[in-house]
Amino acid sequence: MTDDALGNMLAQMEAAEPYADVDEGVFERLKHPERTLKVSLPIERDDGSVEVYEGFRCQFDSARGPYKGGIRYHPGVSMDEVTALAGWMTWKTALVDLPYGGAKGGVVCDPTEMSRRERESLTRRYTEGIRRMIGPDVDVPAPDINTGQQEMAWLMDTYSMYGGYVIPDVVTGKPIEVGGTAGRVEATGRGVAITTRRMFEYLDRDLDGATVAVQGFGNVGSVTARLLSSMGADVVAVSDVSGGVHDPDGLDVMDIERYISENGVMAGYEDDAAADAIDNDHLLRLDVDALIPAAIENVITESVAEELRADLVVEAANGPTTVAADAVLRERDVPVLPDILANAGGVIVSYLEWVQNSQQYSWSLQEVNDDLELKLARGFDEMLDAYTARETPDLRTAAYVVALERVGKAHEIRGLFP
């Protein structure tokens, strides 16, 4: 058993294989990503020095459509990590039935130590590095950790400059002014909140007044916390990389968002709001109704799982639970709503953005949110059907059964080239 992201993703596939109807040869193919590109990215820093960053783009599978997946800027990025994340994208797009495959990209860097100009140079150089393998019908990037609308706009501009005309559908998560869609910024967090609510219904529990702890307060974590709070839950703890805050009576999520927009990080908010400071490790062990990891991989380790007191885990981040921790939680009967469903809202609305771009027509926020909810509900129901019909040990395995069969079927129908 391994706790690295790629080992984790492959172990999840292997665990689902006995329950899924997938041809043996096809399953063997699914374990191997189609290709991964590694690029060197020399950037002139503001002080005139040159630094060479390392970037990757992994295209995991394209049997069902163009590759799709975000771009991450983080010191912990590696080829194995982007491969795992590209695999998860493949299973996620299949589970919610989008006509996409899976991909992921990343650059090993700490963007918090870079100026805006340096981040723009890096993004443009990275785009140049991967531009021969991306494109509206080939591979469509999107935001992930430490990238957002601005990076997507730079990517779209760079790609369009090489093309000689505007090509908005090469990327999703763009600002609305250059072809983005209503609802994309909030989509992942909205999806987490919607699937959490569905999970409470399924467990026959009341979300109103339920206590929730959220680790990570970036794009996904902050929107999740805000929406769950608006649905009646008490968000009692939140954190980011700098630390966290805890108030058993519930936190004012909007006030924390205001504090972070003024100060950059959460550290110090406890003094501002008379809440208790809490570190990330303690947050994961709080006695709450739902724990929502929304930061990075592998935070719920075996020892955290043994001491975890939440009644439910909702994986807003990709791969937050190690394989060993998963086994402990299963044994302890703590349900885990898997990442490939819980955070699928982002790629669903990315898909809707891409469709709007190709039609050159814009939908209203209501239309986008309605379709998001519909697609998530379908994915949730199909996961539950597999859980019951195949008697899988947990929801993650059920979700993988749906995804593996869908991708496997596409491979079978297409055949093995040449």
Residues designated as active site: 104
- Binding segment toward ligand NAD, per CB under 6 A, in 31-39, 120-128, 288-296, 328-336: 288-296
**What is the nearest approach in angstroms of ligand NAD to the Cβ of residue 396?**
16
CB of 114 to ligand NAD, least distance (A): 14
- For ligand NAD, the closer of residues 296 and 407 by Cβ is 296
Round to whole Å and give the CA distance between 225 and 213: 8
d(CA 99, CA 85): 18
CB of 206 to ligand NAD, least distance (A): 27
Distance CA 362, CA 350 (A): 13
Query: Parallel, antiparallel, or unpaired for β 290-293 and 35-44?
Result: unpaired
Give min distance, CB of 333 to ligand NAD, in A. 25
Whether residue 408 contacts residue 24, with contact meaning beta carbons closer than 8 Å, is answered with no
Handedness of CA 118, 216, 330, 281 (dihedral sign): positive
Query: Collapsing DSSP states into helix, strand and coil, what is residue 342?
Result: helix
CA 116 – CA 148 distance, rounded (Å) = 13
Q: Which of 314, 333, 276, 311 is nearest to 193 (CA)?
A: 314
Query: CB of 394: closest distance to ligand NAD in angstroms?
Result: 20
The alpha carbon of 222 is separated from its chain's Cα centroid by a whole number of angstroms, namely 14
What is the C-alpha to C-alpha distance for residues 215 and 297, in angstroms, rounded to an integer? 11
Q: Which is nearer to ligand NAD, 86 or 199 (CB)?
A: 86
The correct pick among 280, 330, 355, 367 for binding ligand NAD (CB under 6 A) is 280
Give the shortest CB-221-to-ligand NAD separation in angstroms: 6
Site size for ligand NAD (CB under 6 A): 24
Q: By C-beta, is 157 or 339 nearer to ligand NAD?
A: 339
Those residues whose C-beta lies under 8 Å from the C-beta of residue 271, and which sit 6 or more positions away, are none
Q: Which is nearer to ligand NAD, 356 or 392 (CB)?
A: 356
**CA-to-CA distance for 387 and 296, rounded, in angstroms?**
27
Question: Where in 325-344 is the site for ligand NAD (CB under 6 A)?
Answer: 343
Residue 295 lies near ligand NAD (rule: CB under 6 A): yes
Residue nearest to ligand NAD (CB): 218
Please state at what angle helix 345-359 crosses helix 365-389, rounded to 10 degrees.
Answer: 130
Cβ 73 to ligand NAD, closest distance in Å? 8
Looking at the chain, how many residues does it have?
418
Cα(164)–Cα(147) distance, rounded to whole angstroms? Answer: 25
56 part of the interface to ligand NAD, by CB under 6 A = no
399 binds ligand NAD (CB under 6 A): no
Among 161, 241, 273, 355, which residue sits at the site for ligand NAD (rule: CB under 6 A)?
241
User: For ligand NAD, what does the binding mask look like between residues 139 and 178, x meaning CB under 6 A?
Assistant: ----xxxx--------------------------------
By C-beta, is 65 or 346 nearer to ligand NAD? 346
Q: Which is nearer to ligand NAD, 183 or 408 (CB)?
A: 183
Chain position carrying tokens 């239309």: 367
Show contacts with ligand NAD in window 209-238 (CB under 6 A): 215-221
* CB of residue 343 to ligand NAD, shortest distance in Å: 4
* Comparison of 19 and 126: residue with beta carbon closer to ligand NAD: 126
> What is the dihedral sign for C-alpha 254, 258, 261, 263?
negative
103 CA to centre of own chain: 12
Q: Which of 346, 368, 372, 387 binds ligand NAD (CB under 6 A)?
A: 346
Question: Is 71 strand, coil or helix?
Answer: strand
Comparing C-alpha atoms, which of 375, 350, 379 is closest to residue 171? 350
Among 121, 211, 239, 321, binds ligand NAD (CB under 6 A): 239
Chain residues in the site for ligand NAD (CB under 6 A):
143-146, 188, 215-221, 239-241, 280, 294-296, 316-318, 343, 346
